[in-house]
Amino acid sequence: MSVNKSKMMDNIIGSINKIQDILNNAGIANSIELPQIVMLGTQSTGKSSVLESIVHRPFLPRGSDIVTRCPLVLQLVECKKTCKQYRKASNGTAEIEEWGEFAHLENQIFSDFDKIRQEIDDQTEKLAGSNKGICKQPINLKIFSPSVVNLTLVDLPGITKVAVGDQPED
């Protein structure tokens, strides 16, 4: 792909991410179909591990049984050290290499990926309950890093054969 086509694709992906942000902030997420790569499969088959390998960081909750109980919409934003569009001294991102931001926590920067994992756990429990329930409402996370490509990925709860806890029978 030529440099011009590559730059054009980055602009398109950036525009799509902005549309997603606007819809999320307006409370009308998922109202239009935007291009995304979706991780789909049975429970505990490595869907989340594939996402972590793309991000080059462990940041997703781990455990036995079903761990991903809400869709995780993960926007990856390539952000080199020289990137002035996203890096700002006012929010502390000018000097850190990579960070995450959650849509439900406005203006909070997470540079510790263990804290990103904890926030995913906390928000999952808030949305889906503590008894293995499943929730359709997504958790929206943006990761800014020089080692990712601009891409939107969705990690879905795994498919199970037998419902447990507060999971629906179907």
Q: What is the mean pLDDT of the chain?
A: 80
Considering the entire predicted model, what is its pTM? 0.75
Q: Where are the domains of the chain?
A: 36-155
CATH topology of domain 36-155: Rossmann fold (3.40.50)
Pairing of strands 139-145, 151-155: unpaired
pLDDT value for 155: 84
- CA–CA dist 43, 167 (Å, integer): 13
pLDDT value for 83: 82
pLDDT in tens, 1-54: 555 655 665 666 667 667 766 776 676 655 555 556 777 777 777 777 888 888
Cα dihedral across residues 151, 58, 68, 118: positive or negative: negative
Asked if residue 148 lies in contact with residue 11, where contact means CB atoms within 8 angstroms, the answer is no
104 Cβ neighbours under 8 A, 6+ residues apart? 123, 139, 140
Q: Which of 89, 107, 87, 105 is nearest to 97 (CA)?
A: 87
- CA–CA dist 31, 85 (Å, integer): 27
Please give the order of strands across the beta sheet that includes 37-39.
Answer: 37-39, 151-155, 72-78, 139-145, 99-102
Pairing of strands 99-102, 151-155: unpaired
